[in-house]
Chains A and B, each alone.
Chain A
Amino acid sequence: MIPVLLITIPLLAGLATFFIRDEKAARSWALLASLLTLGCAVAGITFLKGAANLEAHAQWLPALGAQFSVKLDGMGQLLCLLTAVSYPVIFLGTWKATYANAKNFFALMLLAQAGLMGVFLSMDALLFYFFWELALIPMYFLCSTWGGDKRIRVSFKFFIYTFLGSVLMLIGILYVYGMTKDQSFSINSFYNAGLSNAQQNKLFWLFFIAFAIKMPIFPFHTWQPDTYEQAPTATTMVLSGVMVKMGVFAVIRWLLPVLPLASYAWGDVVTTLAITGMIYASLIAIRQDDLKRLVAYSSIAHIGLMCAAIFSETESGMQGVMIQMFNHGINIIGLWLVVEMIERQFGTRKISELGGLAQKAPAMAILLVIVALANIALPLTNAFPGEFLMFNGIFSSTVTQYYLWFTVLGGLSIIFGAVYTLNMIRKVFYGESNALTAGAQDIRWNEQLALGVIVILILWLGVCPQTLLNTVQETAHSILNKADVLPYIRKH
């Protein structure tokens, strides 16, 4: 029941929003709907934990072997919670932002949420593909309608990139479907398809390119900084906070267990790409003067680490990725909120033009510092356990012989991360205030509320990450079991 509600509430609410004429009403309605979704998600994780509540199956296309089959497993719970939490926070944080044709904006946002929920919940490959695209279309319209000056070209690039990836994935899905024993799209049939080594190697890139574009992994990342820069901030938050997790999530659920042999064979290549991307993105971020682009490149670096940790195929790495997906989503939304505030007040995102904000806006400064420290994974912030587990996983990986290199290079990019984040704080918040920032005001109540929620989550999950770890433990274990290639290697 819960998964169906998680999809249908935003879907129906979103469709209804198209017909609300009043802007204020549309805004409140969207917030209400997102809070309702959050309630459902929380209920699914806390007290309605029975198996009957967490899955739903219905006939959809029996002739094809496709089912409407949704289920909330450990990883799904975490990501649905992230989606559900982020939406009210985003709506609150951007409460004062005005949009032309606001009803359409909120409607599309909610539709995108429905798509995202569907991606995290589907247990059927065709359904997964449907939601994968359903999440993309509203995003495209959001970016193209309400973004910056270059929005049309940039968001079209984004769309073409991801669509090209998805069609390749569709081929992959169809191929695996043809190989399943019972001609079915269900995830278990996919896990037991029994593909040969050669087939898996062929299919791997069809799937991986789709996911790599979404994450994004170097060299498929070129759409990302432009899109983040041009999209309206609320949309960027969804894109970077939740949507990139689609790629990471899909690798864990649909790539590793379905194509274990190929994941093992290509693991080194993929990790190399991911690590290269991390260092590359960090170096660019150091040189960035634009706040939005800085956050965008830092996001590439973080996602790269997650990807590398997945392909280390260790239990601690996998758990680290899963909780880090949640934490990274929270942190980056916080960062965007601050960027949005700065841009709104001063009309610029240039780091070089800002300075000395801490004296004028102490509350903003404190909140930002906490978020920024979380972004570089300082202990006691939520990102620390995740990154620690991921590095631990990469270092103890048994599937690669270059684990030492990967760990060292990955660690290097973390140091870079500290450099650019602290540099940004120093330049923007400390030092002398200039003519532009002299009249700075502190943040509004709605932003305080949104950032407050984020800071509380950061601190709470930083001190006791065990709650999250408990949720994902089982999923990580079962995924790794399916991805285990040792039996195969022993046999041959």
Chain B
Amino acid sequence: MNALLLSALMGVVMMFSGIVLKSKAAIRNIAIAGMLALLLVNILEMNGTVFLVIDSKGMIGFDRFALLFNSIIFFSTFLYLTLSARDMEKVGVNYAEYLALIFFILCGIALVSSFRSLIILFLGIEIISIPLYILTGSDKLNLKSNEASLKYFLLGSFSTGLMLMGIALIYGAKGTFYTSGINMVNGAISPLLIAGMLLLMFSMAFKVSVAPFHFWTPDVYDGAPTVFTSFMATIVKAGVFIAFIRLFDEGFASQQPKWKLIIAILTAATLLIGNITAVFQQSVKRMLAYSSIAQAGFMLLSVYAMSPDSKEGLILYAAAYCMATIGIFAVLIKMSDYTFDGFNGFAKQQPLLAAVTTIFLLSLAGIPLTAGFMAKFYMIKAAMYNSGLLWLPILALVMAAVSVSYYFRVIQAMYFRESSTPSTLTVTPAFRYTLVALAALVVLLGIFPNLLLAWLYF
């Protein structure tokens, strides 16, 4: 609750800071300080300090899982802002507004991470989506950015429509918006409930870009300004995933036999399409877009498995994925050439940045000693023990091996190929240190994942 209120407040503060303050550095510092405060109050709430109790009639419930997840989200955003906030200046003139929108999105994530009622879910999803449409199109003079924004908006509103229809049907079947009420089994299962559940599943699948609802993702991620792609592909995606798992865990747990196979098929399709298409990309940015689809497939395993294990897995996965991808994007934003060849000889020009990027890429590929491995490990473990289905985990891991082929192309370019043009890249020492700290964190979580998971219980 603390974070929910503060994030909305911070959004308003950022809006006005753009009017009051003229210095961009000051605006940025306020945003970073606000982010830190957000993280702090959220951690305080984890320890039992709640500043303002608002009676939501049980529509919002901040449990341990939601709070920890929010902490990860806020921490990732904090890193994201420290690394990339400076690069937002290049996008357009409305610097403060971009930051305000990011805070509003965080407010939406705080809502969807803790919803107990479908109304709050809808509200949260919309609070996340609408600022995203704006951020996607924020590069106003770029035609690709405009196209991406329009595409995202049209398809996004369509999926929102599906979601509303689903909620309406479920209300028709159960007479309640509360997930606990929806989960209750009384009498025969109404076809309305199943239809509503499927509609909800599809619209959520759209929001997290699960195949076959992923077609918007590459274009939107590619068209959006790279700074915001970084935010969309990591924090927002992870944030919507918690809504996904919460919805199916609390709302539809009793209908498991009905949706389990569908989710399994969606997962398999996402893994296959995301990974195999990513192999053929020529631009690193587009490759990362497809890789985000592939990683969504892995995260979907947690919905599929639906157990305490899978929640641990999602926590770890969200952290590992966000940190690694934010790191890679932070470097990518600085590059002038987004193709694989643009990375040629990077290790000679920027040995430190190349080394940390390598660690992030290894983490995404799921190589041991990085957080990405532990995350995949937990996911696979959860998926194996809660179904007895062996083909899905095997497929997932084989696809992880496929993913190596495109992640390693960047490493190959950086280390083993020579560049033809000298580097024009300039970075501040603070940027370097933050990236190194981030890489260290990725490795640390890869060896001791319980440092993070312990928070889930104590």
Contact = CB atoms under 8 A, between A and B. Distances in A.
A and B touch in the complex (CB under 8 A): yes
Interface of A: 60-63, 129-130, 133-134, 137, 141, 144-145, 151-152, 156, 159-160, 163-164, 167-168, 170-171, 174-175, 177-178, 202
Q: Nearest 4 pairs between A and B by C-beta?
A: A167-B397, A133-B368, A164-B401, A130-B368
Contact of A61 (B408, B417, B449): B449
B368 A129 contact: yes
Nearest to A136: B367
Contacts of B377: 170, 174
A156 B393 CA distance: 24
Given A61-B449, A174-B381, A144 B397 contact: no
B401 A163 contact: yes
B384 A174 contact: yes
A145 B347 CA distance: 11
Contacts of B50: none
A170 B397 contact: yes
A134 B368 contact: yes
Interface string B275-309: 00000000000000000000000000000000000
B416 A168 contact: no
Interface residues of B, number: 28
B371 to A, nearest CB: 13
Given A61-B448, A129-B368, A167 B401 contact: yes
B425 interface: no
B390 interface: yes
A171 B394 contact: yes
B40 interface: no
A163 B404 CA distance: 9
Given A163-B401, A174-B384, A63 B450 contact: yes
Contact of A167 (B400, B415, B416, B448): B400
B380 A171 contact: yes
A336 B398 CA distance: 35
Contact of A137 (B362, B393, B412, B448): B362
A144 B380 contact: no
B38 to A, nearest CB: 29
B180 interface: no
Contacts of A171: 380, 384, 390, 393-394, 397
B130 interface: no
Interface in B421-457: 448-450, 453
Contacts of A62: 450
Contacts of A133: 367-369, 373
8 contacts: A129-B368, A133-B373, A134-B368, A145-B416, A160-B404, A167-B398, A170-B380, A171-B384
Contacts of B368: 129-130, 133-134
A264 to B, nearest CB: 23
B408 A156 contact: yes
Nearest to B457: A63
Contacts, number: 67
A20 to B, nearest CB: 14
Contacts of B450: 61-63
Given A144-B415, A170-B397, A178 B369 contact: no
B405 interface: yes
Contacts of B394: 168, 171
A202 B384 CA distance: 15
A61 B449 CA distance: 8
A130 B369 contact: yes
Given A63-B453, A167-B398, A145 B390 contact: no
B51 interface: no
B215 interface: no
Contact of B384 (A137, A144, A175): A175
B158 interface: no
Contacts of B367: 133, 137
A171 B400 CA distance: 12
Given A61-B449, A144-B416, A145-B415, 12 more contacts: A133-B373, A137-B362, A141-B415, A159-B408, A163-B401, A167-B397, A167-B398, A168-B397, A171-B393, A171-B394, A175-B390, A202-B390
B16 interface: no
Interface string B366-403: 01110001000100110011000010011001101100
A156 B412 contact: yes
Nearest to B399: A167
A359 B401 CA distance: 52
A152 B405 contact: no
A61 to B, nearest CB: 6
Contacts of A163: 401, 404
A144 B414 CA distance: 12
B452 to A, nearest CB: 12
B155 to A, nearest CB: 34
Contacts of A177: 381
Contacts of A167: 397-398, 400-401
A410 to B, nearest CB: 33
Nearest to B400: A167
A151 B416 contact: yes
Contacts of A170: 377, 380, 397
B328 to A, nearest CB: 18
Contacts of A130: 368-369
Interface string B215-254: 0000000000000000000000000000000000000000
Contacts of A174: 377, 380-381, 384, 393
A62 B393 CA distance: 24
Contact of B369 (A60, A134, A145): A134
Contacts of A168: 394, 397-398
A111 to B, nearest CB: 11
A163 B403 CA distance: 11
Contact of A152 (B381, B398, B412): B412
A152 B385 contact: no
Nearest to A161: B401
Contacts of A144: 412, 415-416
A178 B397 contact: no
Nearest to B417: A152
A178 B393 contact: no
Contacts of B362: 137
A254 to B, nearest CB: 16
Contacts of B373: 133
Contact of A164 (B369, B384, B390, B398): B398
Given A137-B362, A170-B380, A174-B380, A160 B405 contact: yes
B404 A159 contact: yes
Interface string B125-140: 0000000000000000
Nearest to A143: B416
Contacts of A151: 416
A311 B450 CA distance: 40
A345 to B, nearest CB: 28
Nearest to A131: B368
A169 B413 CA distance: 29
A202 B390 CA distance: 10
